[in-house]
Amino acid sequence: MPRTARPTIALTVGLAAVLLAGCTDNAGPDSGGSAAAGVTPARVQAGAAASPAAAPAPTGPYVALGDSYTAGMRIPPQLGEPGGCHRSGANYPSLVAKGLSLAAGQFKDVSCSGARTGDLSSPQKVADGTNPAQLDALTADTRLVTLGIGGNDAGFMEVVTECAKENLVDIVKGVITDSDHRISDSPCRDRYAVGNGTDEVQRKVDTAGDRLGQVLQDVRKRSPKAKVYVIGYPGLLPADPASCLPVLGNAVAAADLGFLVEKEQQLNGMLRKRAEAAGAVFVDLSGPSAGHDMCAGEDKRWVEPPFPAQGLAPIHPNAKGQEAVSGVVLKAIKG
């Protein structure tokens, strides 16, 4: 039996356990999901929809919609009801509202950890109560809307978890066959790939896109005078997965880290496409977050690794990340 097998298995089991715990704690992308790390940096489309004679930047009333990447899961101070939404008073919507000098009555944050697109139009049950349908916060007077959603629809956190589990299975097979080599270089890619050239994750992303398109239509009907910003996900992984070895070890096969980067790219690409089709502004975070992924040093990362700093959510933005995102969003809003 290879001497390295036991530590590798232990790390992989630990990673899978942490990720599964995050998924059962109403965690989203959301991680689920995430915006594509390693994509070619794209400029934030702050002024993309603006005419040459720039319109004044929108102010309030401002409504923030979204999942845990918007809510600020486990980032203090945790505010609002229900508590199971894990909504932070230091999340990017709160910081954007502060940056726009909005009075308390001009800002409403209804984001909730674990939210899917369906939870925007229907109540969402969480651990200690129910979050009302998020779209109900919109009115004809609303002038600014930010929306960060889609990672949970795509099941991105579940995909990350499965990648760790598939790698564990592959390692165990290698132990049984007394081999130092994996049965597959990319067991997770093999798990999700199908014969027609697409995969299960892509199908979920496409379905999430259809739902998001309907959501954006609903937002326009409820708040026809609002400027709408669709917020992408920050990068989870670096362009070079090998740089994650000090953080992840062999918990996920290197080729599967590349697979996860591809899925992040697809998710962000879908968000951009749907935003543009609906006349909304897509705010790209993949470019600005380059070098701030979960494998970056503690002083640089915007997203926590699977074993996060004490009290924070694994594979979710930290306070530094929320502050950075608020700066990108404010730049988009102010043009």
Which residues are known to be catalytic?
A: 68, 316
Distance CA 334, CA 55 (A): 10
Of the candidates 312, 286, 280, 294, the residue with the CA atom closest to the CA atom of residue 248:
294
Question: 324 Cβ partners below 8 Å, 6+ apart?
Answer: 288, 289, 292, 302
Angle at 292 between CA 202 and CA 97, to 5 degrees: 90
CA pair distance 50, 55, nearest whole angstrom: 7
Q: Provide the greatest CA pair distance for the chain.
A: 70
Q: How many CB atoms lie within 10 A of CB 262?
A: 17
332 half-sphere exposure, CB direction, 13 A CA radius: 29
| One-letter amino acid of 165 | K
N- to C-terminal Cα separation, the chain? 60
Sign of the dihedral defined by the CA atoms of residues 297, 303, 308, 310, in that order = positive
